[in-house]
Amino acid sequence: MDSKRLGERIREMRLQREWSQTDLGTRVGVTKATVSQWEHGQIKDIRLKTVLKLVQVLGTTLQYLVNGPPGSITPPPPGRPERLRVVKGNRSS
């Protein structure tokens, strides 16, 4: 999962709803700072519970949130690709 592209999709869907970062954070149960970090691709570990809440709040699918529209998945660049991990437990939201 590419955290930068995931962040771009989160931002796009938030703006389509005319929500501030605070609005989205309140709906998901995280801070405005966390939403900002998502949107800038700065958080690599997102709890599964939080990802599922994002899907629900944004009215999208897990497939779209993680991978984008069908056919938009591109192979990772050569070298060590960036990874976004979905984790269980008490890590960053």
Question: Domain spans of the chain?
Answer: 3-70+81-87
CA dist 86 and 71 (Å) reads: 22
pLDDT of 2 above 60: yes
Average pLDDT of the chain to the nearest whole number: 83
pLDDT score at 3: 83
pLDDT tens digits along 30-75: 999 999 999 999 987 888 999 999 999 999 999 999 888 876 555 5
Which residues, in sequence order, are CB contacts of 88 under 8 Å at separation 6+? Answer: 47, 48, 49
pLDDT score at 85: 59
pLDDT of 19 above 90: yes
Please check whether the domain covering 3-70+81-87 is classified as CATH 3.40.50.720.
no
